Amino acid sequence: MPERTKQPPILDAVQLDLKLKPCTQFNLDNGVPVYAIDAGEQDVLMVEWVFYAGNWYEDKNIVAATTNYMLKNGTKNKSAFAINDHFEYYGAYLNRSCYNETSTVTLHCLNKHINKLLPVVAELFTESIFPEEELAIYKKNQKQKLEVNLKKCDFVGGRIIDELLYGIDHPYGKYSSAEEYDALQRDELFRFYKKYYTEGKCILFVAGKLPTDIQGQLNNVFGKLPLNAATMPMVEHVAKPAAEKKHNIINDPNGVQGAIRIARPFPNRHHPDFIKVQVLNNIFGGFFGSRLMSNIREDKGYTYGIHSYLQNHLQQSAWAVSTEAGRDVCAATVAEVFKEMKILREELVEEQELHLVRNYMIGSILGDLDGPFQIIARWKNYVLNNLTDAYFYKSIETIKTISAEEIMQLAQKYLVEDAFYELTVI
């Protein structure tokens, strides 16, 4: 019986000994690897199919994203309505997303219905037909959304900063246009679908309260498909950053707010400084108590929110600052961002502030491990980046032990004004 007359001890998050639950790994008959987390009290599960079918592999812009979106829009035996009706009947949710290197199809459902749902998902990978009428609706809707979004300075700023960092022809830097939607053809989608889905490279991630025969069910439905049948093509893209570092764009002459993006190229997770820079980034602008928020939001009142982050790419990355501010204070906001960089280069972070950031980061990781879906998401991140659980424990150790001197050295190395692209879109 707990002693309720006494307050329980309060521990700092940095004192916690965090452990990453191991995942089970097995292969289907066709060689498709499956990573599984069996945990949780509720009778639910998630299955995610990850294909190497992002825009990294397309020959024509927006083919990858369109193909991924239209997987649910009709097969040889089912209309788009019938497919959606089937998943809704069983209380399931099927989503799909397209990223730079990968695309995903994600199923959330009650585990007792998994045997009714897996065959229909498999049908999407082998029998999709991309009906012309569905493609026409998609193109019309996307052009309407684009027309609306192009009036928003933050949307335009996000597109242009990536173009400056990587070049318009690089998968990380390209963006869509109405003309490209008009030019989409069904046969282009079908060729991409056959090469990168039906016969593409696939990885499965499964989490939740798993049925005892989950391995057999997955193998029966997906183990005989031609997935992973061919070797993935070696596709390389070279970034071509813009020469000019400072850009001011008028998107709306009557606009009262401007979007500010300040960013520089940065190595990916395999670089020895990446984990350490995560700590510096949080001090700089990575959470609500960061220096950028304290100065530019709380003290100056220039913006409702400002944050810095490292882009989540597999090949290359970037370190960016993002905010929106009043038109009349955009220049002052940019100046304050560079001022905070200068302070970090020249002054040691005080132990109290560093301790706060350590607790925040460890606490965030603890929250990210709350449940099987969150755990498998972390494992997915490691698998796709060719990392192991050693990266998890190295991250924890770095957060707990990095010194103020190391942080200042990193700031002197990376938070250099001349290395950053500066973009304001009004």
Q: Is 36 helix (H, G, I), strand (E, B) or coil?
A: strand
pLDDT at res. 232: 77
Pairwise pLDDT comparison (318 vs 12), residue with the higher score = 318
Q: Is 206 helix (H, G, I), strand (E, B) or coil?
A: strand
The answer to whether 75 touches 124, Cβ cutoff 8 Å, is yes
When the pLDDT of each residue in the chain is averaged and rounded to a whole number, the result is 95
Which are the contacts of 98, defined by CB distance < 8 A and separation ≥ 6? Answer: 53, 54, 55, 64, 65, 67, 68, 69, 104
The proportion of the chain whose per-residue pLDDT surpasses 70, expressed as a percent, equals: 100
pLDDT-based confidence at residue 231 (cuts at 50, 70, 90):
confident
Residue 421 pLDDT > 70: yes
Beta-bridge partner residues of 320: 263, 309
Q: What number of CA atoms fall less than 13 Å from residue 150's CA on the CB side?
A: 10
Residue 230 pLDDT > 90: no
Q: Sort strands 33-38 and 202-208 into parallel, antiparallel or unpaired.
A: parallel
- Residue whose tokens read 């940065």: 266
CA angle 250, 256, 261 (to 5 degrees): 55
pLDDT-based confidence at residue 229 (cuts at 50, 70, 90):
confident
pLDDT-based confidence at residue 166 (cuts at 50, 70, 90):
very high
HEC readout, 87-151? HHHCCCEEEEEECCCCEEEEEEEEHHHHHHHHHHHHHHHHCECCCHHHHHHHHHHHHHHHHHHCC
Q: How far is CA 417 from CA 58, 85, 264, 348, in A?
A: 35, 54, 9, 19
pLDDT at res. 1: 67
Q: How far apart are CA 46 and CA 69, in angstroms?
A: 19
Listed residue (220, 209, 356) closest to 288, CA to CA: 356
pLDDT at res. 268: 93
Residue 181 pLDDT > 90: yes
Average pLDDT over every residue of 395-416:
97
Tokens of 182: 């008009």
Q: What is the DSSP letter of 418?
A: G
Pairwise pLDDT comparison (297 vs 9), residue with the higher score = 297
CA 196 to chain centre: 20
Go through 154-174 and write b for each residue having 16 or more CB atoms within 10 A of its CB, e for each that does not: bbbbbbbbbbbbbbeebbbbb
- The alpha-helical segments, DSSP class H, found in 198-324 are 214-222, 274-281, 291-292
Superfamily of domain 24-222: Metalloenzyme, LuxS/M16 peptidase-like (3.30.830.10)
- Residue whose tokens read 């001890």: 9
Extents of the domains making up the chain: 24-222, 246-425
Q: Give the pTM.
A: 0.92
* Least confident interval from 53-62, 140-149, 222-231, 354-363: 222-231
Residue 65 pLDDT > 90: yes
pLDDT, one tens digit per residue, over 281-315 is: 999 999 999 999 999 999 999 999 999 999 989 99
Rounded to 10 degrees, what is the CA torsion of 190, 196, 199, 204?
Answer: -130
The answer to whether 329 touches 336, Cβ cutoff 8 Å, is no
Tokens of 89: 């009947």
Q: How far apart are CA 164 and CA 243, in angstroms?
A: 8
Domain covering 246-425, topology: Cytochrome Bc1 Complex; Chain A, domain 1 (3.30.830)
Q: Sort strands 421-425 and 257-266 into parallel, antiparallel or unpaired.
A: antiparallel
pLDDT at res. 116: 97
Q: Is the dihedral of CA 174, 177, 180, 181 positive or negative?
A: positive
pLDDT at res. 210: 95
Tell me if 24-222 shares its fold with 246-425: yes
Average pLDDT over every residue of 136-157:
96
Q: H or E stretch including 47?
A: strand 44-51
The proportion of the chain whose per-residue pLDDT surpasses 90, expressed as a percent, equals: 91
Q: How far apart are CA 181 and CA 190, in angstroms?
A: 16
Average pLDDT over every residue of 376-389:
96
Contacts 24+ apart (CB under 8 A), 175-179: 176/61, 176/62, 176/142, 176/146, 177/146, 178/143, 178/146, 178/147
pLDDT at res. 14: 79
Residue 201 pLDDT > 80: yes
